[in-house]
Amino acid sequence: MDNQSIFKYSWETLPKKWVKKMERSEHGNRSETNSDYLFQLLCFLKLHTYTRVQVSIDICGVDHPSRKRRFEVVYNLLSTRYNSRIRVQTSADEVTRISPIVSLFPSAGWWEREIWDMFGVSSINHPDLRRISTDYGFEGHPLRKDLPLSGYVEVRYDDPEKRVVSEPIEMTQEFRYFDFASPWEQRSNG
């Protein structure tokens, strides 16, 4: 089966409430689903005869602060049997928790930890949800667009004390928050 056949078969077979939107390209298929049906959709893609997705290549996240469900979680999957790539996307907010897929793809545990560490999107009953890229004392989630560019604490080496010290950053309010508007759009041509 090629990408087009897998796309057509999946679209005809899957329950319509599982898939919001499906798109096909020469590089792979893209499906958008509600976070409530994520696990069921990935089970179908892994276990069904005509899809046979065996590899979870990676899981990544995107922060869109202007959206109601601001976080987009993207699962990149590979069917080695049919040489087909499938991208499954779902969205979440600060409160919504997504289904872990560790039971389907054991290597996904690390990527789910990274999504939680970087964006704050947590998984329901994840077996090992703890920080993976940042220090355990780190406050916030670094890839969120609302995290101040300066952070909340400063870590530096104190030469007289001969040790690393963490101190809260004291900064005036106008330097604390980032304006998402482009500086070129604010200028007038006159």
Backbone angle region of 52, left / alpha / beta, with phi > 0 → left and psi within -120 to 50 → alpha: left
Mode of pairing for the β-strands spanning 28-32 and 21-25: antiparallel
The residue-averaged pLDDT of 136-148 equals: 84
**pLDDT score of 177 more than 70:** no
Mean pLDDT of 163-190: 64
pLDDT tens by residue, 26-73:
777 888 899 999 999 999 999 988 888 999 999 999 999 999 999 999
> Taking residues 167-182, what's their average pLDDT?
63
Sign (positive or negative) of CA dihedral 138, 144, 146, 151: positive
CA neighbours closer than 13 Å in the CB half-sphere of residue 136: 2
Q: Is the pLDDT of residue 75 over 90?
A: yes
What's residue 172's pLDDT? Answer: 60
**Which residues pair with residue 157 across a beta bridge?**
164
Closest-CA residue to 120 (of 140, 135, 101): 140
Return mean pLDDT, the chain. Answer: 84
Identify the pLDDT of residue 40. Answer: 93
> Residue 140 pLDDT more than 80?
yes
> 162 pLDDT band (50/70/90 cuts)?
very high
Which pair of tokens denotes residue 145? Answer: 């667009």
Share of the chain above pLDDT 90, in %: 41
What is the pLDDT confidence band of residue 163, given thresholds at 50, 70 and 90? very high
What's the predicted TM-score (pTM) here? 0.78
Asked if the model's pLDDT at residue 101 lies above 80, the reply is yes
DSSP character string of 69-105: S-EEEEEEEEETTTTEEEEEEEEE-SS--BPP-TTT-
